[in-house]
């Protein structure tokens, strides 16, 4: 795809960060990269497919941002430091303005986090975007899903359910005046919580990023760590619009079961609660304690009236 390839070489590579540890970037058969001595590589990939993860009319600038953001969010969940990224683009046609806008969104976020695009692949076909991210960790200094223990406290960053409510609003659900741009922004331009993940190193026992929704992502922690979770619904951090939704419908599924928020869920040993709150103090990210872990298995929600509900299977009736 000569047209697209020229664009990538001309605009894309220079627009992302330029790093000293990239010996050879885009242009040869492979990139050559130097992992700093003593560090380990953290690698993850996520694919966005048109019709499944976004619609055909999606803003290409937002797509470029989101394709990278969801990958950076995986690094954030491990407390890793982002470094390099590769990009697999499958494009239906040579649409220069589309590609230029996509690049702009992608490269702006890459530059913000010092990430360099070092290679990729470009093919013709139904629109799909695959991104592989590479970051660094100190050996043993990492947040996994499996380190949580009974007694740990559960914290989440930001607010829950905004991206899910944005999708409902797109299907016609009425949201309060002025809320739509905020919800759209939360769905289209998630902010990877990289600084938070790094600050939580050494204090949090486990972490995961919320891509599928609190109920199912928390269940991943419970399964990997061999613990049970109790979530107090009254404590869930909700934006005004999601609060309205829960009050009007009595349905918590938008907060518990909808994905795409890309907030972090952190498990913190109760004895380290003070240390944790100190290490995240002054950050621009609201953190809320929403529950705790116990011996056992499964995720239980405690309703404001005290009733409990098993939600381990995922809170699926929301999903369509
Ligand atoms: P090859 O034929 O050896 O697979 P390509 O012609 O596909 O090489 O790609 C040439 C160079 O351009 C490689 O360095 C590759 O990593 C880079 N490249 C191709 N597509 C992309 C893309 N979408 N994003 C970033 N780099 C790309
Ligand atoms: Mg080759």
| Ligand 1 atom, smallest distance to 117 CA | 25
C-alpha to C-alpha distance for 65 and 77, rounded to whole angstroms: 18
Give the mutation target among 121, 123, 125, 132 for probing the ligand 1 site: most ligand atoms within 8 A of CB.
121
pLDDT in tens, 261-317: 999 999 999 999 999 999 999 898 999 999 999 999 999 999 999 999 999 755 544
Distance CA 13, CA 25 (A): 8
Closest C-alpha to ligand 1, atom 3: 29
Residue nearest to ligand 1 atom 22, measured at CA: 120
Question: 245 pLDDT exceeds 90?
Answer: yes
Q: Is 78 in the pocket of ligand 1 (CB under 6 A)?
A: no
What pLDDT digit, counting tens, does each position of 120-169 carry?
998 899 999 999 999 999 999 999 999 999 999 999 999 999 999 999 99
Q: Which range among 16-30, 35-49, 67-81, 196-210 shows the weakest confidence by mean pLDDT?
A: 16-30
Confirm or reject: Cβ of 8 under 6 Å from ligand 1.
Answer: yes
pLDDT in tens, 174-231: 888 789 999 999 999 999 999 999 999 999 999 999 999 999 999 999 999 999 999 9
* Beta-sheet pairing, 153-157 with 287-294: antiparallel
**Residue 8 burial (CB count, 10 A):** 19
* Closest ligand 1 atom to 87 CA: 24
Classify 19 as helix, strand or coil.
coil
Q: How many CB atoms lie within 10 A of CB 113?
A: 22
| C-alpha of residue 27 to centroid of ligand 2, in Å | 9
Is the pLDDT reported for residue 320 higher than 50? Answer: no
Strands 128-137 and 228-232: unpaired
133, HSE (Cβ side, Cα atoms, 13 Å) = 29
pLDDT of 135 reads 98
- Please state at what angle helix 162-170 crosses helix 240-249, rounded to 10 degrees: 70
- Sequence-ordered list of residues with C-beta below 8 angstroms from that of 160, at least 6 positions apart, any chain: 210, 214, 236, 237, 238, 242, 255, 256, 261, 263
Query: Measured between alpha carbons, how far is 134 from 150 in angstroms, rounded to an integer?
Result: 32
DSSP 36: P
Q: What predicted TM-score, i.e. pTM, was given to this entire model?
A: 0.94
Please report which ligand is nearest the Cα atom of 13.
1
- 134's tokens: 């590479």
Decide if 155 contacts 280 (C-beta within 8 A). Answer: no
Cα distance between residue 204 and residue 199, in whole Å: 9
As a whole number, mean pLDDT of residues 14-28 equals: 89
Alpha-carbon span 217 to 228, nearest angstrom: 13
Using alpha carbons only, what angle is made at residue 83 by residues 108 and 107, rounded to the nearest 5 degrees?
15
Length of the chain as a residue count: 320
CA dihedral 10, 14, 19, 22 (to 10 degrees): 0
Tokens, residue 138: 């100190």
């Amino acid at each position: 795809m000569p047209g697209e390839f020229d664009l990538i070489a001309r605009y894309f590579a220079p627009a992302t960060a330029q790093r000293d540890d990239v010996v050879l970037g885009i242009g040869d058969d492979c990139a050559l990269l130097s992992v700093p001595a003593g560090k380990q590589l953290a690698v993850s990939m996520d694919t966005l497919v048109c019709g499944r993860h976004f619609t055909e009319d999606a803003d290409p600038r937002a797509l470029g941002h989101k394709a990278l953001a969801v990958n950076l969010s995986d690094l954030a969940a491990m407390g890793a430091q982002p470094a390099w990224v590769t990009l697999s683009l499958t494009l239906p046609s040579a649409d220069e303005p589309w590609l230029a806008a996509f690049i702009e969104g992608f490269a702006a976020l890459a530059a913000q986090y010092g990430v360099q695009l070092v290679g990729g692949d470009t093919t013709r076909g139904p629109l799909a975007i695959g991104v592989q991210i590479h970051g660094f960790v100190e050996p043993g200094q990492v947040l996994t899903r499996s380190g949580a223990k009974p007694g740990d406290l559960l914290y989440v960053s930001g607010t829950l359910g905004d991206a899910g409510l944005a999708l409902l609003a797109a299907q016609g659900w009425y949201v309060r005046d002025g809320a739509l741009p905020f919800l759209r922004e939360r769905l289209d331009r998630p902010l990877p919580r990289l600084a938070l993940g790094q600050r939580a190193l050494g204090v949090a026992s486990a972490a995961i990023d919320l891509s599928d929704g609190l109920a199912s992502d928390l269940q991943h922690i419970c399964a990997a760590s061999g613990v049970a979770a109790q979530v107090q619904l009254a404590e869930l951090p909700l934006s005004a619009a999601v609060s309205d939704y829960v009050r009007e419908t009595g349905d918590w599924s938008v907060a518990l079961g909808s994905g795409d928020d890309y907030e972090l869920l952190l498990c913190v040993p109760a004895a380290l609660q003070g240390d944790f709150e100190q290490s995240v103090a002054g950050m621009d990210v609201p953190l809320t304690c929403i529950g705790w872990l116990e011996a056992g298995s499964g995720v239980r929600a405690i309703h404001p009236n005290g009733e409990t509900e098993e939600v381990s299977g995922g809170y699926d009736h929301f999903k369509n």
